[in-house]
């Protein structure tokens, strides 16, 4: 089952520059079909451990069809944001967050975030999830479902900060339901809550164009 857009989806938008918490600038925008090669190259830059955490399998290549599905998205039933490094030639992808609506439950979408190892731990995963949450809320998605390796502390910490409910753990994989925060102001004062509020402030024009998403100490 698909669902009509609750508000017009953001199919294209000019990249916005945001600063990570160490001051690194990244460009963020909805993903586009032209990002196919960026994802292909990005997969090869991910460590084996990160690839396993993302796919819960030892994936070393993505087929042309998989790359098409991951980049040719409608931003209604499949929403995806990409982060690029503007300081490097060709502006390579450094992170992606996506969610795909569950056909049997249109208010729910399966979520996944990936950040290149070299960019991890600087707030980018949280930032991409904040952008994704905002887009998902606008399309009527109220819950993210995630399947996360029980050893994936970084991902589990971020989802727990958002009030994740662990449904079960099977074969070392946690199934989580995460409420998509419709109003980031209601989130607790955690790193994740602060980044989500900064994303909302940036979208509302309360942060400068290259707004820093550093959390207040
Ligand atoms: C999981 C993953 C997406 C996290 O991305 P990331 O960019 O490293 O995450 P962040 O930097 O936003 O958050 C990591 C940590 O910094 C903290 N943090 C984030 N923003 C912060 C801020 N502004 N100030 C202080 N701390 C912050 C987070 O709470 C988290 O804390 P922890 O390290 O104590 O757990 C990334 O590690 C990854 O791509 N892993 C491989 C693929 C994967 O596991 N995907 C998940 C599939 S569901």
Ligand 1 pocket member 56 (CB < 6 A):
no
Ligand 1 pocket member 155 (CB < 6 A):
yes
Ligand 1 pocket member 22 (CB < 6 A):
no
**pLDDT (average), residues 152-164:** 95
Non-local (6+) Cβ contacts of 102 within 8 A are: 108, 109, 110, 145
**pLDDT (average), residues 132-140:** 96
Ligand 1 pocket member 54 (CB < 6 A):
yes
What pLDDT is recorded for position 4?
A: 54
Structural domains in the chain, CATH included, are: 4-204 (3.40.630.30)
Ordered DSSP codes for 167-206: EEEETTEEEEEEE--S-GGGS-SSHHHHHHHHHHHHHTT-
Q: Bigger pLDDT: 52 or 182?
A: 52
pLDDT in tens, 21-61: 899 999 999 999 999 999 999 999 999 999 999 999 999 99
Q: How many other CB atoms are there within 10 angstroms of residue 149's CB atom?
A: 16
Measured from the CA of 215, which atom of ligand 1 is nearest? 23
Non-local (6+) Cβ contacts of 103 within 8 A are: 1, 2
In angstroms, what is the span from residue 4 Cα to ligand 1's centroid?
32
**pLDDT (average), residues 70-86:** 97
pLDDT averaged over every residue in the chain: 91
The pLDDT > 90 percentage for the chain reads 73
**pLDDT (average), residues 105-127:** 97
Ligand 1 pocket member 191 (CB < 6 A):
yes
**pLDDT (average), residues 142-167:** 95
Q: Residue 8: which pLDDT band, with cuts at 50, 70 and 90?
A: confident
What pLDDT is recorded for position 172?
A: 94
Q: Residue 217: which pLDDT band, with cuts at 50, 70 and 90?
A: very low
Nearest CA to ligand 1 atom 4: 125
Predicted TM-score (pTM) above 0.75 = yes
Q: Find residue 22's DSSP bridge partners.
A: none
Nearest CA to ligand 1 atom 10: 123
Q: Residue 211: which pLDDT band, with cuts at 50, 70 and 90?
A: low
What pLDDT is recorded for position 21?
A: 87
In angstroms, what is the span from residue 2 Cα to ligand 1's centroid?
31
Nearest CA to ligand 1 atom 12: 123
* Pairing mode of beta strands 143-149, 173-179: antiparallel
119 contacts 128 by C-beta, under 8 angstroms: no
């Amino acid at each position: 089952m698909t669902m009509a857009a609750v508000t017009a989806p953001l199919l294209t938008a000019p990249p916005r520059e945001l600063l990570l918490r160490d001051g690194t600038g990244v460009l963020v925008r909805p993903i586009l079909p032209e990002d196919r090669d960026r994802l292909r190259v990005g997969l090869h830059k991910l460590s084996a451990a990160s690839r396993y955490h993302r796919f819960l399998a030892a994936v070393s290549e993505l087929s042309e069809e998989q790359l098409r599905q991951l980049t040719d998205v409608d931003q209604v039933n499949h929403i995806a944001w990409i982060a690029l490094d503007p300081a490097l030639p060709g502006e390579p992808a450094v992170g992606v967050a996506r969610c795909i609506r569950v056909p049997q439950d249109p208010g729910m979408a399966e979520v996944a975030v990936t950040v290149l190892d070299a960019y991890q731990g600087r707030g980018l995963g949280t930032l991409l999830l904040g952008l994704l949450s905002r887009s998902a809320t606008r399309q009527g998605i109220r819950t993210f479902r995630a399947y996360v390796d029980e050893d994936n502390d970084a991902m589990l910490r971020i989802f727990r900060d958002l009030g994740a409910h662990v449904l079960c753990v099977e074969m070392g994989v946690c199934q989580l339901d995460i409420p998509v925060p419709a109003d980031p102001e209601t989130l607790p004062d955690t790193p994740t809550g602060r980044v989500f509020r900064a994303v909302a402030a940036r979208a509302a024009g309360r942060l400068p164009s290259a707004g820093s998403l550093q959390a207040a100490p």
